[in-house]
Amino acid sequence: MRQNGFRRGTTRRRVVAPRPAAVRLGAVAGGLAACLLLVAACGSDSSDTAGGASGTGDATNATEVLGPVAKAAGEPVKIGLVSDGKAATVDQSVEIEAGKATVAYLNEHRSGIAGRPIELVTCASQADPGITADCANRMIEQDVTAVIIGGVAAQESAWTPLHEAGIPVVLYSTSATALLADSKSTFSFADATFGTIGLPLKVAQKEGVKKVTAVVIDVPAAKGALEASAPAIYKKAGIEFELVAVPIGTADMTPQMQQIAKDDGEVFILGNDSFCISALNGLNAVGFTGPISAIAQCVTDSTRTAISGDQLKGISISAIAPVGTDNPSTRLYNAVAATYGKNIDTSKIAGINIFTAVAGLQTALADLTGEVTPATIINALKTMPEKELPGSGGQKFQCGGKASSAAPASCVQGGLISTLDDKGYPTSYEVAGA
């Protein structure tokens, strides 16, 4: 029998995450902060990412790319996937579709998990903290062995009940302090600080400049990580760091850029596309000629329309996945999408990120045999050897606190860097900071 949507007598305790009014009112702001701090844009990210590719997966040579058939058999292993899905203010439905296609591929070509087929249990959280918590409780009720949380606006609302229930949580990326600090059962397949700290630092070292000025949208979440961590990291590297916070909606940044242009250094831009357009126009107005770096969601189709290709050419961006370029990772994802999905838009970075999370979990558990439970999955993740992370453009991952002592949940150190061409699209990516 069900009561309030849940079975009575469930073997696991249903944990209800608190939903104060402040959390609900701050959901939109929290989602924006997550967009700014995560390399993978959330919300209605479509081809408006750094990637230039568009359309659906390419079936050309799919058989060769997917590899030999190695079907899973036996009792299914339940893996959960929480995504915001599609709602009035968000469309992350590609995550669920990509997740289903990835599972079908893994079951047919990678023997699932421990030789058993993966059964994907999905829940759309609609960018609402309350629904997100309910999704987590649904996973607990259905006895999943692990849960993948996508680019969810209220990640902690999903994570808290799962963490308390002892269920391992896998994320392709998170900037939430509580999640990154967890050494028990949380695993993130991206370096949370590479896009905001590692990228500009690597560019400065490559270009030989001695100062980085971060032009940042003036919201606490965007400034927080930089103010807390960047000064010490840059000082250790022998590079001066300055943060210039600019209010949201500032159309003319020429006054701020006049002082910056006097310094012989690099400018790093952290903000959405409209913020970046104003920043780039300001830099152009004052004749700035130094190196420029930016988070990936800074450069969208709107940016390419508003800013000339000559201005965008040479800007360095970071990414979790090499979207918009032809490489082994995108070829595999495109083949999976074309073979096992239906009209999946492979230009959406959220799709390949979910592919990485699902396929990455399966890769990490490749040596798991015998009973598959939350406890055996956690142990396998913590003791895994270093492996290549699927869909990541050649990045390596190893969980169990090996990648970062400061963020024990992180399984990856470093990220991808690309420079934009004269149309504002990324050229080939390279792994940096590993």
pLDDT along the chain (434 residues), means of 10: 35 39 30 37 38 48 92 98 91 96 98 98 96 98 98 95 98 94 97 93 96 94 85 96 95 94 92 95 96 92 94 94 91 97 92 97 96 98 97 96 92 96 93 89
pLDDT at position 60 = 53
Same domain (yes/no): 178, 58: yes
* Cα dist from 333 to 67, 235, 254, whole Å: 13, 40, 42
Same domain (yes/no): 259, 274: yes
pLDDT at position 434 = 81
Of the residues 281, 299, 319, the one at which a domain ends: 319
Q: Looking at the 3D structure of the chain, how many domains does it have?
A: 2
Q: Residue type at 91?
A: D
DSSP string across 67-125: -S-----SS-EEEEEEE--B-SS-B-HHHHHHHHHHHHHHHHHS-TBTTBPEEEEEEE-
Same domain (yes/no): 222, 184: no
* Cα dist from 18 to 33, 149, 323, whole Å: 21, 19, 37
Same domain (yes/no): 66, 174: yes
Is residue 136 one of the residues assigned to a domain? yes
Same domain (yes/no): 231, 153: no
Same domain (yes/no): 242, 368: no
* Cα dist from 335 to 4, 66, 329, 352, whole Å: 41, 7, 10, 12
Of the residues 254, 287, 319, the one at which a domain ends: 319
Instruction: Give the DSSP H/E element, type plus range, for residue 316.
Output: strand 316-319
Write the CB contacts of 262 (distance below 8 Å, at least 6 apart in sequence).
none
Same domain (yes/no): 377, 297: no
Query: Using CA atoms, how far apart are residues 127 and 92, in angstroms rounded to an integer?
Result: 10
pLDDT at position 108 = 98
Same domain (yes/no): 298, 265: yes
Same domain (yes/no): 123, 182: yes
What's the CATH code of the domain at 272?
A: 3.40.50.2300
Candidates 413, 31, 384, 45; CA nearest to 193 is 413
pLDDT at position 58 = 53
Is residue 428 one of the residues assigned to a domain? no
- Token pair in block for residue 246: 């600019």
Same domain (yes/no): 101, 173: yes
Is residue 380 one of the residues assigned to a domain? yes
pLDDT at position 68 = 96
Q: Which domain holds residue 156?
A: 51-190+323-413
